[in-house]
Structure formats: C-alpha cells, structure tokens
Amino acid sequence: MLNGIRFLMANETHSTTRAAGAEHRSGAADWVILSLPGLIWGASYLFIADALGAIGPGGVTLVRLAVGFLTLLCFPSARKPVLRSDWLKIVALGAFWMAFPLSMFPFAERYVSSALTGMLNGANPLFAAAVAAMIAWKLPSRRVIVGIAIGMAGTVVIGLPTLQEGRSTIAGVGMILAALVSYGVALNLASPLQQRNGSLPVVLRAQLVALVLVAPIGVRDVFHVKWAPGPLAALLALGVLSTGIAFAIMSVSAGRFGATRASSAAFLIPAEALFLGVIFRGEQVSWISIVGGAVCVTGALILRSEAAAKKPSVTLASAPAE
C-alpha cells in the first residue's frame, strides 16, 4: 500500500486500533485471572504430600490457613469492613470453602497419591454447576447437562482402580469428593458476597472463621512438628500461594466471571498434579485413571464453553478490592 494512503488511513483507524489493542490486553488479563488459580492449586497437592513429612494433617490445614491469612493481610483492601448482615454467610463460606475441604485433602493424601487427588479435582466445575442448578431449582441448559454427565463419568473412571486398593484408599477418595461438593456450595455462596463487600475482605474473614474451626484438630499437630527444611518450605508455599494469593485471585475471578466459569480453571489441575506427582514423588497412576481425568476435563471444558458463550449478568467491582 502506498505511504500516502497509509497516512490517510492511519488517522481514521487509530482509535479503532487502540480499542482493539485494549480489548486484546483485557482478554489476556482475563485469561491470567482465570488460569492462575488452577496453576497454583495444581501444585498444592504436591505441597500437601511433602508437608505431611513434617506435620500431621490437621496441622497442615491450620498452618496453611494462618499463613494464608497473614498473606492476605498484606493487601490493604482486604481489611476493609463488610456488612454486618453478611457475617452469617461469611461464616458459612469459611466452613464450606476453607475449613472443611482444606481439612479433607491432607487426611485424604495419607491414603491416596497427590496425583490422584489433583486429578479428581478436575471435577470441581461440575460440582459448582450442579449446585448452581439446585440453588436455581431448574434444569440447566442441554450443554451444561452434557458437560456434567461427561465429567461425572470421568470422575467415576478416575476412582475405579481404587476399588482394588482397600477401604482406606476408598475412604481417601470419598474425602476428596466430599471436599469437591463443599467447594461447589462455596463458589455459589462467594459471588453475591463479593459483589456486596469486595472479594478480599470476604476471603480474609472467611479464613479467620476457618482458623477458629480447624484450631481444635490442628494445634496438637503444630506442637509435634518435625523441623525438616523441605516439607516446611512446601508448607510455607502452600500457605502463601495456595491459601493466600490463589484464593485472592479466584475470588476476583468468581465475582467477575461467575461461579461456573471461574471454577473451570480447575481443568488445569489434573494434568499438572499428575505431572508433578510422577516427576517429584515417583507416584504411579493407573492408565484408566488418566483416561478418566481426560474425560473429566472434557466435561469441564464443555461447561467453560457454555459459560463463555454468555456474558455474566453481574460483574463484581473487583478493582476496588485489589
């Protein structure tokens, strides 16, 4: 194209190009917000498995919550007040999002591998979508139903090999599934609370509630901690990253994109947990479970495509909360 024509067209297209660039940057930022919690939590199960070498399962939960709470205190906006009328729901959020599921994982990992634990967490979006449908008291769209059905089938396939490994392993899988149900409830509770109060103030107070709830089972383990540098470093990473920074990012994501789409970041967890468990802990996972993990992630991706096709009806003003 001639230089003169380029010059004439530049004035007409400058604003359009700038808007397109801004939209592209926004899309990239959205991708990071959606994906980063999944990437961090994909390593959480390795951190938990390593931390159990220094402290009991109750202590893992208590310490990670304490460190996560202190991490969030570093964000000034997290200390902003919340509505008194929302405190009861925040207490419920502290129980369902943090105290109960974060207690289940270290207890479960005494019986199942970190890789299997992470692979089962690929079902997180499925439980969130199922709980959302029950709360709304109506059937979701056909695509969501298909996604849930495929994902749940994959979850069953992941757990099939454990049926031959004894009751303790089955119990471990049951603990993980119970934690996922709890997450499904919590993700649907979190969004309206964040819309009214901001994301970080809600998460900070929910962690405080969880600290109180898990203290009775965690204090004893803390007093019997073994001073092993590697496991303690893993415990610190579990607190700072998985319980502090990742929860802050996920809370923003849930408020901005809705519970179902935000929880779809979990599709990154299975592959990463499998990779880290095999590479760093030498864990062995049945090929049937790996196939089930792929099926489960397929269901989660179907849910994500359904959510992406719709604009969120309410957008959290997450910027003031950061």
Residue 263's pLDDT is what?
64
Residue 276 has pLDDT above 60, yes or no: yes
Residue 147 has pLDDT above 60, yes or no: yes
The Cα–Cα gap between 59 and 65 comes to: 10
Give Cβ neighbours of residue 70 (< 8 Å, ≥ 6 apart).
239, 244
Q: How confident is the model at residue 52 (pLDDT cuts 50, 70, 90)?
A: very high
Reported residue count of the chain is 322
SS (H, E, C) the chain: CCHHHHHHHHHHHHHHHHHHHHHHHHHHHHHHHHHHHHHHHHHHHHHHHHHCCCCCHHHHHHHHHHHHHHHHHCCHHHHCCCCHHHHHHHHHHHHHHHHHHHHHHHHHCCCCCHHHHHHHHHHHHHHHHHHHHHHHCCCCCHHHHHHHHHHHHHHHHHHHHHHHCCHHHHHHHHHHHHHHHHHHHHHHHHHHHHHHHCHHHHHHHHHHHHHHHHHHHHHHHHCCCCCCHHHHHHHHHHHHHHHHHHHHHHHHHHHHHCHHHHHHHHHHHHHHHHHHHHHHHCCCCCHHHHHHHHHHHHHHHHHHHHHHCCCCCCCCCCHHHC
Residue 193 has pLDDT above 50, yes or no: yes
Give Cβ neighbours of residue 184 (< 8 Å, ≥ 6 apart).
124, 127, 128, 129, 130, 131
Category of 20 on φ-ψ map: left (φ > 0), alpha (ψ -120 to 50) or beta: alpha
Residue 138's Cβ-count burial label (10 Å; 0-12, 13-18, 19+) is exposed
Residue 53's pLDDT is what?
94
More confident site: 148 or 25: 148
- pLDDT tens figures, 205-217: 999 999 999 999 9
More confident site: 8 or 305: 305
- pLDDT tens figures, 90-137: 999 999 989 999 999 999 999 999 998 888 887 777 787 788 777 766
Place of tokens 């809370």: 251
Which whole number is the average pLDDT over 41-66? 95
Residue 246 has pLDDT above 70, yes or no: yes
Q: What percent of the chain is predicted at pLDDT more than 70?
A: 80
The Cα–Cα gap between 185 and 130 comes to: 9
Residue 169's pLDDT is what?
83
More confident site: 27 or 35: 35
Q: ∠ CA 247-198-317 to the nearest 5 degrees?
A: 105
Q: What are phi and psi of 57, to 5 degrees?
A: -60, -40
Sign of torsion over alpha carbons 254, 203, 68, 103: negative
